[in-house]
Chains A and B, each alone.
Chain A
Amino acid sequence: MSLRKGVSWPIPVLTVVTVIWIIPVFAVIMMSLRPATEFMRGWWILKPLTINLHNYITVWTKFQLGRATLTSFEISIGSTVPTIAFCSLAAYAFEFLDFPGRRLFLLLFVNAFILPMQILLIPLLIMWRQFHLTNNLLAVVLPNVALSFTWTIIYFKAFLFGFPNDLIDAAKIDGCKHFRIYWNIVMPNSFAPVASIGILQFLFSWNGLLFPLLFLRKDFPLTVALIRIRGQYEPNWEYLTAATIIVIIVPLLVYVLLQRYFAEGLSRSGSEK
């Protein structure tokens, strides 16, 4: 229907760019599947070609990556569920209710995006020691949740701004209290923001390195495990490449399969509304 003409010369250019983008990852995949004796001469030399999961099995058992994977899931889910619950509650209040301090608290949340994570480290380390929370996953989950509010509350509030008034007014006439409205009307109709906030917060927590590196002693997630495998001296590339793929497999699957639920949200959470 559209009269819009397009050119086709960008396609080869984009192909080249995309290949350049893939190659470093492809190299790691190739190396992770082959013995070091083969890829030490270059992973692109295909003779001889031995492909097996030996590196994965070794690194998985030797560095207890099963446990690290579990910890990664625990941290990510533990950081995501409270974020969704608390940011939606707060967004409801900021959008629909008026109360003393409303503007002040909102500005506090909105502007917290300027904080570098590093500014929390020393005080939190002291605090976790006092509360006996070192090596407790809460030590990572709590700051993950707290730092999310600067984008999640604003994002959810922007969604509620477009929420149909009729639904809420009808509930009010029926005499619903605010929590009933929130729980029975708002939340069941908020799939879009819940999905995008949930997926993004899950990914950010999965990829987090600084908090678990400093706050956890025994149970650490995959990102920290990867840094440990890298170690201080010459790295073992069989372990390193296999572990790298194990760390990135979940985020990559999420990005490729679920992109439509959050791609827009990510850009908009920057400053929209």
Chain B
Amino acid sequence: MRSATATRLSRRLSKYDWNAYLFIGPALIIFLLVTLYPVIDSFRISFYDWDGLNPMEYVGLGNYRAMFEDEYFINSLKITLIWTVTTTVCTLLLGSAIAVLCGLTKRNTTFFRTVIYACFGISAAATGMIWLGFYQPQFGMLNAILRGVGLSSLQRSWMGVPLRALFCIIVASVWQSTGFAMITMYGAIKAIPGALFEAGYIDGVNSWQITRYIMLPLSMNAFKIAFFITVLGSLKAFALVLAMTQGGPMRGTEILGYYMYRESFRHFRLGYGAAVVIALFLSVLVVAVPLMVERSKKA
């Protein structure tokens, strides 16, 4: 890809074309001003103590030290880990399973795919409300279902206890993002040449073998894309927590993306918030390195 572009460039133009700056100008100016500069500024602010009103006070690494002494930050790290791993694993498993099921049958599956994919278009704010309704203790469906199947003893105030509330939000998140994993995997499965399936069926293999030896190996690339987008999306998440629990109960659902928001804009610890967001950024960076390398090579 890279060399192809290079040949094309050298064939077309032997010299630099300065007009190019007019073409990338608008995008570059907006990007430098509203993205790159703020990122650098966030690093700077993280070395200061600042409440947004009084003058900033330089504290060096003070905010970072305070971060690791704050039990709520450590708590937030743990919650973020549980949240990210569980959301990613469930989303990818479910999404891939549905894609494979759609690929195995010859019948039309458009309806199923459209419904599940459409949920990916629902905003996090609305997803939160939809699932709050589901968990609502008095008239929510979850408790009603438990009553209905004779498990009344399992009825709970679902959003009332930290870890339980976290898993309730995870379910909502998986419900919303499975459609993306599914459509990505389904696209790859549909692109597999039909001859491979035919060869498989002539050899008399069953659905599981088709899945295991044809579909999954040949959609690994799509799986990787879905994996990275899901894992990065959950690391950066914020809105679902705001909509459903606002970090509660007992700060038990404060993922990093929300913890930063709360410390900065509810407790007005802007310098500290900047330090937290740098920590979040670095954890995203660590996960994203393989994808960055690949995208840079292709660019």
Contact = CB atoms under 8 A, between A and B. Distances in A.
- Say whether A associates with B: yes
Interface of A: 2-11, 13-15, 17-18, 21-25, 27-28, 31, 39-44, 82, 85-87, 89-90, 92-100, 102, 105-124, 126-127, 142-143, 145-147, 149, 153-154, 161, 165, 177-179, 182, 203, 206-210, 213-214, 223-224, 226-227, 230, 232, 235, 237, 240-241, 243-244, 247-248, 251-252, 254-256, 259, 263-264, 266-267, 270-273
A270 B121 contact: no
Given A11-B105, A87-B27, A114 B38 contact: no
A119 B107 contact: no
Q: Per DSSP, are chain A's interface residues mostly helix, strand or loop, or mixed? A: helix
Interface string B54-67: 00000000000000
A146 B31 contact: yes
A100 B16 CA distance: 7
Contacts of A224: 125
Contact of A102 (B20, B22, B133, B180): B20
B171 to A, nearest CB: 10
B68 interface: no
B220 to A, nearest CB: 13
B296 interface: yes
A146 B35 contact: yes
Q: How large is the interface on B (under 10, 10 to 19, 20 to 34, 35 or more residues)?
A: 35 or more
Given A227-B242, A247-B126, A251-B122, A93 B34 contact: no
B124 interface: yes
Contact of B98 (A14, A22, A118, A267): A14
Contacts of B264: 121-122
B18 A99 contact: yes
B133 A178 contact: no
A116 B291 CA distance: 15
Interface stretch (B149-157, B161-169, B194-202): B194-202
Contacts of A123: 37-39, 41-42, 45
Interface string B254-285: 00010011001100001001100110110011
- Most chain A CB within 10 A, of B19, B37, B139, B270, is at B139
B107 A8 contact: yes
B277 A18 contact: no
A119 B280 contact: yes
Given A7-B105, A209-B124, A111 B296 contact: yes
Interface in B124-139: 124-126, 128-134, 136, 138-139
A98 B294 CA distance: 22
B209 interface: no
A263 B1 CA distance: 24
A122 B270 contact: yes
B290 to A, nearest CB: 10
Given A18-B111, A122-B264, A209-B124, A41 B139 contact: yes
A22 B141 CA distance: 13
B34 A142 contact: yes
4 nearest A-B residue pairs (beta carbon): A6-B106, A207-B123, A93-B23, A123-B38
Contact of A116 (B184, B236, B294): B236
B229 interface: yes
B17 A97 contact: yes
B90 interface: no
Contacts of B112: 14-15, 17-18
A177 B21 CA distance: 14
B182 to A, nearest CB: 10
